[in-house]
Structure 1
Amino acid sequence: MSVRIGIGYDVHRLAPDHKLVLGGVEIPFSHGLIGWSDADVLTHAVMDALLGAAGLGDIGAHFPPGDPQYKGISSLILLERVGGMLKERGWQVGNIDVIIAAEQPKLRPHIDAMCRNISKTLGIDAGSVNVKASTSEELGFVGREEGLCAWATALIEK
């Protein structure tokens, strides 16, 4: 058996009059994330972790910002495509672990739905996806509520 681990990271700026989508869940909040797609920072980090584990580059190489076909697209659609790329090469997702940093809003009430969305999109057991939320104790751009960031690790096997 072959096992690989990948790491993903993403960051997006917060702004008024944008939707806040994390793990495919639209979260009520006064601000949302700016990006070419739906700017789902959590799902982007997951995709980069999976692509990295499989040695397939990063999401910018596969879904370039500025390409009209990806304008406003749900990141879960892109995650499904990443899952397909892995399956084509014989990889199975073992597990995914994600942490998102945000001062506001409080994310705990939405975490189970995020895990379900990611696991359903990839066709894996919900127990194989773990999402954690943290603050940055009012330090840095996250602490000043200028943006959110997420880190993900993924284990794949064949």
Structure 2
Amino acid sequence: MMQKIRVGYGYDVHRLVEGRSLTLGGVRIPSSRGLLGHSDADVLLHAIADALLGAAALRDIGFHFPDTDPKYAGADSTLLLAEVYSLLSERNYRVGNVDATIVAESPKLNPFVPQMQERIAELLEVSPEDISIKATTNERMDSVGREEGMTAYAVALIYGTECGDSDELKKG
């Protein structure tokens, strides 16, 4: 018997603005500026959600939680990620691991990485060791380097129920 294994990639970007709180990976980060978006604009959780949705061929976060829908205004992205996980579970997928990178000049994010790993692992029902989060800068180049925004990238591996033969695996 073979297990169905799939990989997805996600990306998100949001503008930094005064007057908003900064939440990354479901963790409130002390900062004078936050990310602008229809929801709480958690770029990390959005990139992870897109990676998971992509792995399951379920389109993207904007399809499931459109910014034109008032019910998602100011939404907590942990709830969105929990809904994405529910969509995967309904299709008999489990999360293998997530590898993500946040690109931001400031604030320094490394002290918050363990909290982010714990929170995301809790939402995806995996061990924190299955959640890799790296924080880097853009060396002061482009809009992220000028501290106009933040980006995040994520890759996720999911696996499904066992398949009888390789033909079933190829069908996806």
TM-score strictly above 0.5: yes
State yes or no: 1:40 paired with 2:46: no
Spell out the pairing of 1:77-96 with structure 2 (5 A cutoff).
77-96=79-98
Say yes or no: does 1:10 pair with 2:12.
Answer: yes
For 1:2, what is the secondary structure of its paired residue? strand
- Aligned counterpart for 1:145 among listed residues 130, 144, 147: 147
Corresponding residue for residue 53 of structure 1: 55
- Give 1:11's aligned amino acid: V
CA distance in 2, matches of 1:147, 1:76: 20
Q: TM-score with structure 2 length normalisation?
A: 0.91
User: Distance in 2 between the 1:100 and 1:151 partners?
Assistant: 7
* 1:108 to partner: Cα distance: 0.7
CA separation in 2, counterparts of 1:153 and 1:55?
A: 14
TM-score (norm 1): 0.99
Alignment RMSD, CA only?
A: 0.5
Separation in 1, partners of 2:42, 2:97: 20
- Counterparts of 1:123 and 1:3, CA distance in 2: 17
Q: What CA deviation, in whole Å up to 9, does each residue of 1:96-117 have, x standing for no partner?
A: 0000000000001100011111
Partner of 2:99: 97
Q: Which amino acid aligns with 1:135?
A: T
Deviation at 1:66, TM superposition (A): 2.2
Give SS of 2:95's match.
strand
2: CA distance, partners of 1:69 / 1:46: 21
Mapped partners of 1:30, 1:45: distance in 2: 23
Q: Percent identity among equivalent residues?
A: 52
1:76 to 63, 75, 78: 78
Instruction: State the aligned residue count.
Output: 158
Structure 1 residue 125: deviation in Å? 1.1
CA distance in 1, matches of 2:96, 2:124: 11
For 2:27, the equivalent position in structure 1 comes to 25
Segments of structure 1 that go 5 or more residues without pairing to the other structure are none
C-alpha distance after superposition, 1:22-58 (max 9, x if no partner): 0011111111000000000000000000000000000
Bigger radius of gyration, 1 or 2?
A: 2
Runs of at least 4 residues off by over 4 Å: none
Give the CA deviation at 1:145. 0.2
Structure 2: runs of 5+ lacking an equivalent: 161-172
Question: Any idea what the Cα deviations from partners look like across 1:58-94, whole Å, max 9, x if unmatched?
Answer: 0000000021111111100000000000000010100
